[in-house]
Amino acid sequence: MDIDQSSSPLERAALLERAAKYAALSDPARLRIVDLLTLGDLSPTELQSELGIPANLLSHHLRSMELAGLAVRHRSEADKRRSYVRLAPGALEGLTPGREHGARRVLFVCTRNSARSQLATALWRTASDIPAVSAGTHPAEHVAPGAVDVARRHGLDLEGVKPRLIDHVAGAEDLVITVCDNAHEELPGLQGIHWSIPDPVRLDSEQAFEDAFADISRRVHDLAPRLRAA
């Protein structure tokens, strides 16, 4: 069948987009980058260390992946000289990775344990049987009202939940997922996953909390099927 004659312009555009992704992923280094980014966001330095390739070659791979709609880069909220690479929305449509990791418990961490890590934990408990808890490097006195409100709008309950210090919560076998740049950069030796999610408390608007919730929800539902109980 001649696809140019039998398909609509939208179908042809979608096919070309898929072909560009497959072409970009034909390189083993780029495929490995995608494998790493399916778990969380990484800085170019972290990717370079994982892959063992020069900075100029990594830069070439990242440009190719950005052009193919596979990856995007953005500045760190904490250290503006630093950037993080994440998968672009919809990057893996039709390219679902398999399970790779086992975990006894998931620990979500942000600085204040007042919004992102609390939302991530609540969402995780709806998506996976693997237990989840949250903590902060410098916990707040209470959960942010905006986080309580957005959770309620989506059928989750954060009423009465208290922020906790990571030292009082973390276990040796936890899979740690940092959900803010400050916590990730404050804990450089921590093995785990990083999700670079903007802090909704900074803007303190309903839309900021909705955006954070949507970002976390997508990541939780992408990761949960890839983890098995250890």
Has residue 119 been placed in a domain?
yes
217 and 110 in a common domain:
yes
72 and 147 in a common domain:
no
Give the residue from 55, 87, 119 where a domain finishes. Answer: 87
Q: In this structure, what CATH number is given to the domain that contains residue 76?
A: 1.10.10.10
Give the residue from 36, 60, 87 where a domain finishes. Answer: 87
- Tens digit of pLDDT per residue, the chain (230 long)? 344 555 678 777 877 877 888 888 899 999 999 999 988 999 999 999 999 999 999 999 999 999 988 999 999 999 999 999 999 988 877 655 555 678 999 999 999 999 999 999 999 999 999 999 999 999 999 999 999 999 999 999 999 999 999 999 999 999 999 999 999 999 988 889 999 999 999 999 999 999 999 999 999 998 998 898 88
Let me know the angle formed at the C-alpha of 135 by 50 and 85, rounded to the nearest 5 degrees.
Answer: 30
Has residue 164 been placed in a domain?
yes
80 and 113 in a common domain:
no
10 Å CB burial of residue 203 (0-12, 13-18, 19+) is: middle
Question: In 70-88, which positions are buried (b, 16+ CB within 10 angstroms) versus exposed (e)?
Answer: bbbeeebbbeeeebbbbbe
C-alpha to C-alpha distance for 47 and 28, rounded to whole angstroms: 14
78 and 51 in a common domain:
yes
Has residue 92 been placed in a domain?
no
Query: Residue 205's domain spans which residues?
Result: 101-229
Has residue 36 been placed in a domain?
yes
Inter-residue contact 166 to 221 (CB < 8 Å): no
What pLDDT was estimated at residue 13? 80
187: three-class secondary structure by DSSP: coil
What pLDDT was estimated at residue 228? 87
What pLDDT was estimated at residue 2? 42
214 and 107 in a common domain:
yes
Q: Which residue has the tokens 């919004």?
A: 115
**Element (DSSP H or E) covering residue 25:** none
Q: In this structure, what CATH number is given to the domain that contains residue 185?
A: 3.40.50.2300
